[in-house]
Structure formats: C-alpha cells, structure tokens
C-alpha cells in the first residue's frame, strides 16, 4: 500500500505483518540524530523494514560492554510472562497523548539529552520505550487478544494519517543503525535499561478462517497452553477419535454442528461392532473365494502365446488405449476452455442407469471420471476377447471374470466418485454415511461375518401374517417335509388333486406372497384341490441326505395324497431344481411301471445341462471342489454361499446397486415381498449338493448314459407323461433355450412349451390382474431347434396363468365336492417355513 503522497505505506504493512514487526522496532536502537534525519530519506524504508523483520533482535545486537556488565533476563515466548509489564505500562499509557502529538516532546527531550553525551544504544532504547507508551498500550491490547473477532477489527479505526506513517518509517530506518559505535553512559542508566523486560517475539498473524479463529480463542489449546516443561506430570492426554477429542481440539465454542458431533460418537460405536462381527467370520475356503490356479495358468499361457506369436496385437491394444486416453484428456481440456462440460456418450449410445445423476454429464470432474471408466472397460474387454482360447468354457470364464472386474471398479462404487453419495452426505451433515455404516454392521452381524447386502427389510414381513396367508392345514409332517393342503374356495373341485413341489433352495411361499399375486390362491379359486410341500431347512444332521431321499419324499407325498383324497393319480408341478427332481421321479415311475402322475408342469426347469449358461464359471472342477470341501467341513452348503453365488450372476442389480443405496446413501432396505423371499434362503444337505453338481450338472448323466435313482438307471427319455413347461425369456438361472432342449428330449408325445416375459421369479409370479408381462406360444413343436420354435411363436399379452389352466383343466378329471383339509397338525404355512439357517 502507499500513502497519499505515493510513498510506501510502511505503517500499514507493519499492521499486516502483525505485532512482530512493531516489537522489533521497539527493541531497536533509536538516537535523536537519526530521528531528525529519517524524514529526509524514506525511499529505502520498505526494504529496510523487511530486513529488520527477517533478523531477530538478540543479545548480540547489544554492544559487548553493555552485555558483559549486566546479564539480560532470558526472553520468554510465554505470553503470560509479559502480562506484568503490560499491566505496569497501562497507567502511564492512559495518561499519555496520542503518538502523533507526542512527537515534538520526544524530539525536545532528545535534544536536551544530546549535550550530556549519555546516549548509548541501551539508554536510547530505554528512552524510546518510555516515550512510546501509547504505542506500547496498543501492542499490549493486541497481545491480550491477538485474534479479535472480525466485527471488532472492523470497528477499530486504522491509523492512516500521513504523520503516523512518516513516524513509522522514521522508527523503522533507525533500526539499521544498531551497529553504531557505543557511547559512554552512566552505570545507573545502563542497569535500568538492561533490567527492562523485553516483550516476546510474536509470529506474524495470518488471515484465519472462522473455524481456526474459534479454535485459537478456546482455552487449553496448543497456542494458549503453558510450556511443555511447566505442565504438571499427571496431565492426561486428550482422547483421540472421540467427540471429547473434537471438543478439545476445536474448543467448546467451535461451532461444529451438533449433528456432526453425534455422528462421530456413533461411528466409534459402530466401528467396534463391525470389528466384533467380522471376527465371527469362518475361516475362508479358497476354493469358493476365487478360481483355481488352473484358470490363471491357462489365461497367462494364452497371453504369453499371443505375446510371442502376435506381439503387434498387444502393442496395438496399448497404443489404442493410451491414444484414446490422451485424446479424452485433450478433449476435456478443450471443452473446459470453451466452457463446455458435457461428457460424450459411449459409441454404442447405450444409457447406463448407474450414471443417471446429471453431474455425470455437466460436472467436469465427474464427466471426466465417467468417460475414463468407459475407456478402461472397453480396453479390458478388448484385451480379453483378443486372447486366442479355443476351449469355449475357458472363454466364457474369462469373459465372466472380466465383466466382474469392470462392474466392481465402476466409479459409482466409491464414495469419492459418487455424486449421489457426496450430495446426500453434505445435505445430511454426514448422517447418511453413519446410517450406511449401521446398515453394513447389521448385515455383517446377521450373516455371521459375511458381507451380504440386505435386499429387503427383514422386519417388514412375517410369514403367515402379511405374506403366505392362504388358509390351509399341515396334513403330514416328516423329518424332511411338511405337506400343506389348502382350504377350497369353491363348492366343487376337480377330481384329480394338484401338488406343487417347490425348490428347497428357497421357501415355498414365493407362490403365496400376497393375495394379489398369490399363485396358490389363484389355483384354489379355479377349483383345484391344492397341496404344497414345505421342505425342511437342513442343518449338519442332514449331511448324508441325498437326491434319493428327496425322490423318496416325492413318492411318499403321492401316497399321502392318495390316502387323503382317494385318487390314485395326481397332477404335479415342479419348480426349478424341484422340477429336475420331479423329472427323475417320473422316469423312475416309468421304469417301475407305475402310473401315479397324470400330468406334469415344469416351472423354469433344466434337465439337459450341456449348455451351462452363466453357471459355467461355478460348474467347473475348481469351484465344485471348493464346495465339496465346504460341505465336508460343515455338513451343508450354506445359504449365504448360495445367495452370494446367485447374486453375482447379476452383480450390478443384486450386489453393487443395493450396496450403494444401503451403505453410501444410508437408505433402509425396501419393504419388497419378492426381495424379502429372495433373502430368506435355506441350506442344502451336503451329499445332495454334491450329487446334483457332479452327476447332473457336470456329467449331464440324465441325458447321456443315465442317472441312478434308488438303484435304477433312468434317462430323460423315460419321461412319458403329458408335459407343460413354462420358461422365462430373460431367465439367467434356467435359460429358456436350455429348458426347451430338455423337454425336446423327453419321451412324451404330449408336450407344450410356454415362454413368459421377464426372469426366473417375476416371469412365474405374474398374475393376470397385473397385465405386466406377456407370453409366447408356438405351433412349431419340438422337431426343429429352439430358434425355429421362436421364429414361429406368437405373442400374447398378459399372464400365462389362464393359458396353463386351459391346458390343465382337461387333464384334471370331473368335478367333485370340495375337500376340507381339517385341522391336521396345525394351520398353514406350518413350522418348517419359519426356520432360518
């Protein structure tokens, strides 16, 4: 800054530099002659001021004679030590006039002292200190409150007069003459000057944020605390990582939001719970945690072969990747320079719902991250697809694992690059992150140390109360199943009863969620006597239960139904793995010459496992060996492992997206009945799991040489009863083409195939009232392949339930009086359905 005359404004610069500059000027040597001559030359004042400020005033600046006479008291940087001196100066300062009016008096006193030749550096300093009491008072006030509030700073008038600036420049210039030859002085004057306490050096005050200023004004902080050597020995350290530490660090008046303080306390407790829950995790089984070494060896061998035979392809991949990355960086810089922030769309034009937030397109950081992720994903897919691998199974596995890595590394999965999570964290003062941590801790505790995200609110539903509420009774119970008969809703029913065998991987109430979408209720309303099997949730005591035991249970259920209804035949429904077992049972009955089943309906059932689809990764020896080791250790294949396995088949929908909503956004799991059922899994008996995976899935013996059931070899061609198969268009567990191929190899001449829209669950639980998904039928039959069937298919809007009823009713006999189940062993849904792993 400059004064009105255009000269450097040193007084203002000194104020900006804090108290340190003024203290050093006060401690410097000032002679009367220099005060009179300083007004003549002010040009180098700024440079001199900087030199003085940079050089601390030490004992060496006092002439040797004066230093040796009387030792000066040691300088203390403790502000408390300067308080007596400042208090002593205040009475004299209160009576003194302003510094500008005291200039003539100081000059007169200096002239009178000159003839006596008693002016030495120390005496001059004492004289200057005595005459500058008004400025000392101002500095003392500054030291008492070095960081005043912004309002007080604005209220104080700044000394901006030209005379004050001139005096300041004169005082500053005199400091450069502290090495002048010493003059003689009386011993009394020298002693008095040396005994005067020297004010401590103060670091220049820098601009402070409100939070830092509040922290500096708080008591017991590092600035105002006593010197380390003065602290009592029993002082306890401030606790770290707690709200108490925050208060000690920022002070009681730190203005931290109360909600933030509470969140910090909650995080500490949640961290302790999380560590305790993770410690409960069982020792991991490498066989089910990652692919075996053979997979990595074959992949590495394929890459090394390509490097040796076609190095130009690998070099081309790298050049393409880095070229596109640099081009993207240049385009981003150019767009920013023009004020454009929108990120370019992918080349295929596909919309990724993970990037629905507008910030992914109109914020420079997020748009750059998004586009770079897309470039990386494209490069990884290109590198994997260019590997020369002849084995189609290995090719599928490499593609699958590549997709898993790409999905895992999406920027939406990380807090720092997820705009939705950051926005919500700021808006809620961190509450969303604390709630997300609480959701994570709850999931880990609930799953025995495993990180499996909850897809639905487990407290929102109670089986038998608000889901699975169809009226009925348990009419039979064994160690492996309960048989439920539902109460009729019509006066007459079809003569041949209908029985549903649901999968024992999950629980049967998927078909009886709510009255609005309950297949159980709908079937009863159509006039059928309906039975449903509720399977036992096995524990380690069921380790030796195999597929033969389940086939035997099918036969027992048919016998029990015959006892209750008097009908020798039943119409049977098998869902998923229960449909596969029903096919084995039908083939066994054919071999035994027994006619117990009038017709069979298969829901999303696989019987030919030649094409393993998305399960290819899980059906190789390394993974199945891991499962076999798992069941040998624990007796069962746990529901947590199966849930995780099925979830990663749709990782974005069933793993990452729910984890983001629950753990980053802090949202509670939704109250969704279908997702609630999906998380209510069961264990599998160890023996049964290995027999199914080894014999049916890997070896595909039911289609090839035959599978042994209860001592008899059966094949798929032994299934000769009328068949109606329901498959789903987007089913990733049982693809419709694989389901169609199995039905095509059955020996039945009465075969019907219906393809519903949607997936493995939603395509089956598709009530007519919803009018959401349609279905396909075809007159092509099974002479050609699945594509020929699809080419000739016709689409029908609405649910397939009505069309299936048209197929089933003629195969269900005449009408008879409705059958009441009685009380039995208790009301539906029974006891087994409530058992959890």
Q: Which residues are catalytic?
A: 576
Residues 6+ apart with CB under 8 A from 181: none
Q: What does the alpha-carbon distance between residue 210 and residue 613 come to, in Å, rounded to a whole number?
A: 61
Residue in 774, 768, 772, 769 with CA at minimum distance from that of residue 729 = 774
Residue in 320, 463, 439, 430 with CA at minimum distance from that of residue 380 = 320
Residue in 483, 492, 651 with CA at minimum distance from that of residue 557 = 483
Q: Which helix (H) or strand (E) holds 708?
A: strand 707-709
583 burial (CB, 10 Å; 0-12 / 13-18 / 19+) is buried
Q: What does the alpha-carbon distance between residue 445 and residue 458 come to, in Å, rounded to a whole number?
A: 14
Residue in 521, 528, 535 with CA at minimum distance from that of residue 471 = 521
**Tokens 């139904």, located at residue:** 561
Answer whether 815's CB lies under 8 Å from 495's CB: yes
Q: What are phi and psi of 774, to 5 degrees?
A: -95, -170
Q: What does the alpha-carbon distance between residue 727 and residue 504 come to, in Å, rounded to a whole number?
A: 19
Q: What does the alpha-carbon distance between residue 166 and residue 170 come to, in Å, rounded to a whole number?
A: 6
**Tokens 């079809």, located at residue:** 494
Distances 24 to 29, 82, 120 between C-alpha atoms, Å: 10, 15, 18
CA atoms within 13 A on the CB side of 758: 17
Q: What does the alpha-carbon distance between residue 448 and residue 748 come to, in Å, rounded to a whole number?
A: 47
Answer whether 176's CB lies under 8 Å from 52's CB: yes
Residues 6+ apart with CB under 8 A from 472: 484, 485, 486, 487, 532, 821, 827, 828, 829
Distances 107 to 35, 95, 369, 689 between C-alpha atoms, Å: 8, 19, 70, 106
- Joined together, the tokens standing for residue 181 give 């030859």
Read out DSSP for 565-631? H--S-EEEEEETHHHHHHHHHHHHHHHHT---EEEEEEES-----SS-GGGGGGGSHHHHHHHHHHH
Give the residues across from 752 on adjacent strands. Answer: 724
CB neighbourhood size of 516 (10 A): 9
Q: What are phi and psi of 575, to 5 degrees?
A: -110, 120
Q: What does the alpha-carbon distance between residue 291 and residue 385 come to, in Å, rounded to a whole number?
A: 19
Answer whether 720's CB lies under 8 Å from 590's CB: yes
Q: What does the alpha-carbon distance between residue 390 and residue 350 come to, in Å, rounded to a whole number?
A: 30
543 burial (CB, 10 Å; 0-12 / 13-18 / 19+) is middle
Residue in 514, 406, 473, 451 with CA at minimum distance from that of residue 765 = 514
Using only C-alpha atoms, the chain has a radius of gyration, in whole angstroms, of 44
598 burial (CB, 10 Å; 0-12 / 13-18 / 19+) is buried
């Amino acid at each position: 800054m400059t004064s009105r005359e255009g000269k450097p404004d040193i007084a203002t610069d000194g104020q900006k530099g804090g108290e340190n500059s003024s203290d050093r000027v006060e401690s410097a040597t000032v002679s009367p002659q220099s005060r009179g001559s300083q007004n003549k030359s002010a040009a180098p004042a700024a440079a001199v001021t900087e030199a003085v400020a940079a050089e601390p005033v030490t004992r060496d600046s006092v002439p040797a004679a004066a230093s040796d006479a009387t030792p000066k008291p040691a300088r203390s940087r403790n502000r408390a030590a300067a308080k007596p001196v400042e208090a002593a100066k205040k009475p004299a300062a209160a009576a003194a006039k302003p510094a500008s009016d005291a200039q003539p008096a100081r000059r007169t006193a200096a002239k009178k002292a000159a003839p006596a030749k008693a002016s030495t550096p120390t005496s001059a300093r004492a004289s200057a200190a005595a005459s500058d009491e008004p400025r000392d008072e101002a500095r003392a006030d500054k030291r008492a409150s070095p960081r005043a509030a912004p309002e007080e700073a604005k209220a104080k008038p700044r000394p901006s007069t030209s005379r004050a600036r001139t005096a300041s420049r004169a005082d500053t210039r005199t400091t450069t003459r502290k090495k002048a030859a010493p003059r003689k002085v009386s011993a009394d004057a020298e002693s008095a000057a040396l005994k005067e306490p020297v004010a401590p050096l103060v670091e220049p005050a820098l601009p402070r944020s409100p939070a830092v200023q509040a922290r500096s004004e708080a008591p017991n902080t590092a600035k105002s605390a006593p010197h380390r050597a003065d602290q009592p020995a029993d002082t306890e350290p401030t606790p770290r990582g707690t709200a108490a530490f925050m208060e000690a660090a920022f002070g009681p008046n730190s203005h931290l939001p109360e909600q933030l303080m509470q969140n910090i306390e909650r995080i500490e407790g949640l961290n302790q719970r999380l560590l305790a829950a993770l410690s409960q995790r069982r020792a991991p089984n490498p066989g089910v945690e990652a692919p075996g070494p053979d997979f990595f060896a074959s992949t590495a061998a394929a890459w090394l072969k390509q490097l040796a035979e076609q190095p130009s392809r690998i070099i081309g991949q790298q050049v393409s990747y880095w070229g596109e990355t640099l081009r993207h960086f240049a385009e981003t810089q150019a767009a920013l320079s023009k004020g454009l922030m929108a990120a370019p769309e992918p080349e295929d034009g596909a919309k990724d719902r993970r990037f629905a937030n507008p910030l992914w397109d109109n914020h420079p950081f997020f748009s750059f991250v998004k586009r770079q992720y897309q470039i990386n994903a494209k490069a990884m897919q290109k590198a994997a697809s260019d590997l020369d691998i002849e084995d189609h199974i290995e090719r599928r596995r490499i593609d699958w694992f590549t997709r898993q890595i790409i999905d895992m590394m999406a920027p939406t999965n990380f807090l720092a690059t997820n705009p939705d999570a950051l926005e919500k964290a700021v808006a809620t003062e961190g509450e969303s992150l604390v709630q997300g941590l609480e959701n994570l801790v709850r999931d880990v505790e609930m799953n025995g140390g495993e990180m499996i995200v909850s897809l639905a609110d487990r407290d929102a539903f109670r089986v038998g109360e608000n889901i699975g509420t169809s009226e009925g009774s348990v009419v039979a119970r064994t160690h492996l199943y309960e048989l439920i008969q539902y109460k009729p809703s019509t006066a007459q029913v079809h003569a041949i009863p209908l029985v549903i065998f649901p999968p024992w991987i999950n629980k049967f109430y998927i078909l009886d969620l709510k009255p609005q979408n309950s297949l159980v209720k709908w079937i009863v309303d159509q006039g059928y006597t309906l039975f449903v099997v509720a399977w036992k949730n096995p524990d380690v005591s069921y380790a030796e239960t195999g597929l033969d035991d389940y086939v035997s249970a099918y036969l027992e259920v048919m016998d029990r139904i015959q006892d209750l209804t008097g009908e020798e035949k039943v119409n049977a429904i098998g869902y998923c793995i229960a449909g596969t077992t029903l096919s084995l049972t039908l083939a066994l009955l054919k071999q035994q010459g027994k006619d117990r089943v009038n017709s069979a309906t298969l829901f999303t059932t696989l019987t030919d496992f030649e094409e393993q689809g998305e399960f290819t990764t899980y059906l190789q020896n390394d993974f199945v060996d891991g499962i076999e080791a798992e069941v040998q250790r624990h007796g069962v294949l746990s529901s947590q492992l199966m849930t995780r396995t099925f979830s990663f088949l749709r990782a974005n929908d069933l793993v990452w997206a729910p984890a983001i909503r629950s753990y980053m956004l802090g949202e509670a799991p939704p109250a969704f009945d279908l997702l609630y059922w999906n998380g209510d899994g069961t264990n599998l008996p160890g023996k049964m799991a290995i027999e199914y995976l080894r014999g049916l899935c890997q070896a595909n013996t039911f289609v090839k040489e035959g599978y042994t059931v209860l001592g008899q070899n059966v094949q798929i061609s032994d299934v000769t009863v009328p068949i109606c198969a329901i498959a789903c268009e987007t089913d990733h567990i049982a693809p419709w083409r694989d389901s169609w191929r199995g039905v095509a190899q059955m020996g039945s001449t009465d075969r019907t195939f219906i393809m519903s829209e949607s997936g493995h669950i939603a395509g089956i639980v598709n009530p007519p009232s919803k009018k959401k998904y349609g279905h396909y039928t075809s007159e092509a039959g099974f002479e050609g392949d699945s594509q020929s069937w699809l080419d000739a298919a016709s689409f029908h809007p609405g649910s397939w339930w009505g069309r299936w009823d048209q197929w089933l009713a003629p195969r269900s006999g005449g009408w008879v009086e409705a059958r009441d189940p009685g009380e039995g062993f208790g009301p539906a849904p029974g006891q087994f359905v409530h058992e959890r792993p």
